[in-house]
């Protein structure tokens, strides 16, 4: 389990730049004219997690995250509308967010490996069923997730451009980033028994 604790520390170290990047991006409006999505809806968390777990490169993972980032994260984080100035800074902030998010989520695959190596009986039983929901329940550690959310809230308070930004970032973690991370772990555990 020492390796798992080490990975949790690594994830914590990656949450800092991710929260900072999200705070930096929140300074700008959504700027939808900057993005061409061709009307393709963002994949759900399960589909995205499966694609993400199978991708082997950071560039490929960033590409997979892009539509969800634009369609889900930006509307939850940024005020609607367009910025007349600073479009290149806005795009740079997007690139930083996507890269930080991809690096942070990449560790989910390694966490799944460590959990498989430690393999408590409850997780073994869940994996044997092949049921993703049971595996997700078996790997969920509410106290660890509460620690992550507390750490994220504290960091977001420090760098938030608006009073509502910390709550928005906390909601993104609770409703999107942490659940996606868990689902990536589930795919890693079920696809590599």
Q: What is the pLDDT of residues 143-188, one digit of tens each?
A: 999 999 999 999 999 999 999 999 999 999 999 999 999 999 999 8
pLDDT at residue number 27: 96
3-state secondary structure of 33: helix
The whole-angstrom separation of Cα 166 and Cα 144 is 19
Please check the confidence at residue 1 and state whether its pLDDT lies above 70.
Answer: no
In a 13 Å sphere around the CA of 115, the CA atoms on its Cβ side amount to 29
Please check the confidence at residue 191 and state whether its pLDDT lies above 90.
Answer: no
pLDDT at residue number 3: 74
Question: Quick count: other Cβ atoms within 10 Å of Cβ 56?
Answer: 9
Task: Confirm or reject CATH 1.20.1250.20 for domain 2-191, answering yes or no.
Answer: no
| Residues 6+ away with beta carbon under 8 Å from 124 | none
pLDDT at residue number 85: 84
The full set of domain ranges for the chain reads 2-191
The whole-angstrom separation of Cα 25 and Cα 96 is 9
The whole-angstrom separation of Cα 22 and Cα 96 is 9
Give the burial string for 155-182 (b: 16+ CB within 10 Å, else e).
Answer: bbbebbeeeebbebbbebbeebbbbbbb
pLDDT digits (tens, 9 = 90+) for 77-134: 999 999 988 789 999 999 999 999 999 999 888 888 787 777 788 888 999 999 999 9
pLDDT digits (tens, 9 = 90+) for 25-53: 999 999 988 887 777 789 999 999 999 99
Please check the confidence at residue 193 and state whether its pLDDT lies above 70.
Answer: no
pTM: 0.92
The whole-angstrom separation of Cα 23 and Cα 104 is 16
């Amino acid at each position: 389990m020492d390796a798992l604790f080490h990975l949790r520390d690594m994830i914590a170290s990656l949450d800092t730049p991710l929260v900072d990047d999200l705070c930096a991006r929140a300074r700008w409006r959504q700027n939808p004219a900057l993005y061409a999505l061709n009307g393709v809806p963002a994949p759900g968390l399960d589909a995205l997690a499966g694609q993400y777990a199978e991708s082997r490169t950071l560039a490929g993972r960033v590409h997979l995250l892009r539509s969800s980032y634009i369609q889900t994260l930006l509307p939850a984080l940024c005020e609607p509308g367009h910025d007349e100035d600073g479009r290149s800074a806005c795009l740079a902030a997007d690139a930083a967010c996507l890269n930080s998010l991809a690096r942070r989520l990449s560790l989910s695959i390694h966490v799944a490996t460590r959990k498989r190596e430690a393999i408590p009986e409850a997780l073994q039983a869940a994996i044997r069923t092949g049921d993703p929901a049971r595996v997700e329940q078996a790997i969920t550690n509410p106290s660890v997730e509460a620690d992550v959310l507390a750490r994220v809230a504290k960091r977001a308070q420090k760098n938030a451009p608006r009073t509502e930004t910390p709550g928005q970032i906390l909601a993104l973690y609770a409703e999107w980033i942490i659940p996606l991370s868990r689902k990536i772990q589930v795919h890693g555990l079920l696809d590599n028994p």
